[in-house]
Amino acid sequence: MDCHIQIYLDNCWTTAAVFEPDSKTLDRGVAGGGRLEYDTDYAVTQLGNRAAELMPGLTVGFELFRFDHWPPFLVDLLPGGAGRRAWLRRMQAENDGPQMDWHLLTKGAGAPPGNLRIAEAVLTPPPDHFKIGFPRGDIIEQKERFLDYAEERGAHVAGASSVQGEAPKYLLAEDHAGMFHAEGALSDEKIKNFWLVKFPRLRRTDERNQQVLRNEAPYLEVARKFGIRTGDPLVYENEVLFVPRFDRKVSEGRVERLGMHSLCAIANIAEFGAAVPHDIFCRALAKVVVDPVQELQEYIRRDILNLALRNTDNHGRNTAVLRTIGQIRLSPLFDFAPMFLDPEGIGRVSRWKNEQPGSQPEWAAICEKLKNFMDPVATRSWLASLGEDIKRLPETMQDCHVDDAIIERLTGWIDEVAAGLAAARPRMQI
């Protein structure tokens, strides 16, 4: 029992490696062991090519890699949340659990984000009557024909999540006539744009779920004005959010698929729902990026804004790195929304070590923890200056059309976050 891992490299899909799970621990799912080996022909042609690694540090060669748990990049490929439940229905599975992970990998990881996929999960072209695609209006109205098609074609987004009951998300490709198809249903030359389409979590009639989704687009614009790395603007229309994908680039009939790994994968964390401290993610990030200072500042800036705007669903699979030619860096921000409003009551998932719930991080102490990568004094001054930008957030939120009720609710908390940053300012030496 094994599966073949393919990578999109040099403008085509290529079989790069084979993974064989340990049969004795298969029922443990991602927590079970296994072994991975690069394909011999692939290893010969790509030896020494870091861009050809399945993930940073997994050197292309002839070594047999043994794992006590699944390679974390495979966990990124698994359907998660609503997508996982859809695949379980397709497989007529009576129960979910770790024992289903292998089945979900080999059936549901045929078109995940990034530039990796499982060959056994790649779907055959759809029937002729599906090739016409669906107009934007059918998606917005969630007409039964579209939902049935999307589920049948496995269009739910892949990627494990720490949160249950999350929003249905679909990976769709738009053709040049403006019709939408499940990713994998079109040849590259027919694709104009790639989208991730999101619907409200749980029940569409729940006002708080609608409010969360409605404010994701303006939240991203606030982040853009705060200096955070962002992709193209999101489009919200009638309770549906259209998210332009940054892991796909279309140019002159050709599609570039960028390598993408969650921070959990980079930090070698395979388990679901792990509340991993920021400290661990920062150290893992610093090891793989070209410019550690720049990327750590970007990471910290995001955490500050997550804190101030109370995007509490800030786990390690909601942050990723992108791999482009010659460099690895944090991807544009995604899944950034007022998640404190969620009816399920999502607390701040990732914290700094020793950060107390409901209190401000001790930024001066955090700077000391990161001194191997960043000058503590300079970082403290930088954080204090960010505090001034934080103070202006209510005005920025207004300009970006965040709901007034959210602004009103967060204003006092934002002042506390700004004060916490100001306290990091280094004392003058006499």
Q: Mean pLDDT check: name the lowest of 63-67, 173-177, 202-206, 404-408.
A: 202-206
> Residue 165 has what pLDDT?
46
Q: Residue 379 in contact with residue 359, Cβ under 8 Å?
A: no
Find the domain containing 412 and state its range: 259-422
Mean pLDDT of the chain: 90
> Residue 74 has what pLDDT?
96
Q: Is residue 59 part of a domain?
A: yes
Same domain, 188 and 287: no
- Percentage of the chain lying above the pLDDT 70 cut: 93
- Our measurement of the distance from residue 158's CA atom to the centroid of its chain's CA atoms, rounded to an integer in Å, reads 10
Q: Is residue 429 part of a domain?
A: no
Q: Measured at the alpha carbon of residue 82, what is the angle toward residues 156 and 329, in degrees to the nearest 5?
A: 65
Please determine, for residue 325, whether its predicted confidence score (pLDDT) is greater than 60: yes
Same domain, 106 and 178: yes
| 93-121 pLDDT, tens digit each | 888 999 999 999 999 899 899 999 999 99
SS3 at position 335: coil
The residue from 199, 217, 251 where one domain ends is 199
Q: Is residue 185 part of a domain?
A: yes
Please determine, for residue 162, whether its predicted confidence score (pLDDT) is greater than 70: no
**Residue labelled with tokens 């078109």:** 111
- Can you state the angle between helices 101-108 and 82-90, rounded to 10 degrees? 90
Same domain, 308 and 403: yes
Ramachandran angles phi, psi of 228, nearest 5°: -90, 145
**Once rounded to an integer, what is the mean pLDDT over residues 278-296?**
96
Q: Residue 69 in contact with residue 33, Cβ under 8 Å?
A: yes
Q: Is residue 248 part of a domain?
A: no
Q: In the 8-state DSSP scheme, what is residue 163?
A: S
> Residue 129 has what pLDDT?
43
> Residue 405 has what pLDDT?
97
Same domain, 273 and 188: no
| 229-247 pLDDT, tens digit each | 999 999 999 889 999 999 9
Domain count, the chain: 2
Please determine, for residue 17, whether its predicted confidence score (pLDDT) is greater than 90: yes
| 388-418 pLDDT, tens digit each | 999 999 999 999 999 999 999 999 999 999 9
**Residue labelled with tokens 């669903």:** 313
> Residue 164 has what pLDDT?
40
Confidence of residue 349 (pLDDT cuts 50, 70, 90): confident
Ramachandran angles phi, psi of 296, nearest 5°: -70, -35
Q: Residue 314 in contact with residue 348, Cβ under 8 Å?
A: yes
Same domain, 155 and 275: no
Q: Is residue 226 part of a domain?
A: no
Q: Which of 200, 197, 221 is nearest to 212 (CA)?
A: 200
Ramachandran angles phi, psi of 266, nearest 5°: -60, -35
Q: Is residue 69 part of a domain?
A: yes
The residue from 165, 199, 233 where one domain ends is 199
Same domain, 282 and 189: no
- Our measurement of the distance from residue 96's CA atom to the centroid of its chain's CA atoms, rounded to an integer in Å, reads 23
Q: Is residue 224 part of a domain?
A: no
Same domain, 171 and 269: no
> Residue 64 has what pLDDT?
97
> Residue 376 has what pLDDT?
96
The residue from 199, 234, 251 where one domain ends is 199
Q: Residue 371 in contact with residue 297, Cβ under 8 Å?
A: no
- Cα radius of gyration rounded to whole Å, the chain: 22
Same domain, 158 and 75: yes
Q: Which of 370, 394, 383 is nearest to 423 (CA)?
A: 383
Q: Write the DSSP string, 152-164.
A: HTT-BPB---SST
Same domain, 83 and 156: yes
Q: Is residue 246 part of a domain?
A: no
| 70-95 pLDDT, tens digit each | 999 999 999 888 788 888 888 888 88
Same domain, 171 and 280: no
Same domain, 194 and 269: no
Q: What is the CATH number of the domain that holds 287?
A: 1.10.1070
Give the span between the Cα atoms of 119 and 138, in whole angstroms. Answer: 31
Give the span between the Cα atoms of 126 and 110, in whole angstroms. Answer: 14
User: Within 13 Å and on the Cβ side, how many CA atoms surround 389?
Assistant: 16
Between 388 and 430, whose confidence is greater? 388
Same domain, 34 and 156: yes
> Residue 144 has what pLDDT?
60
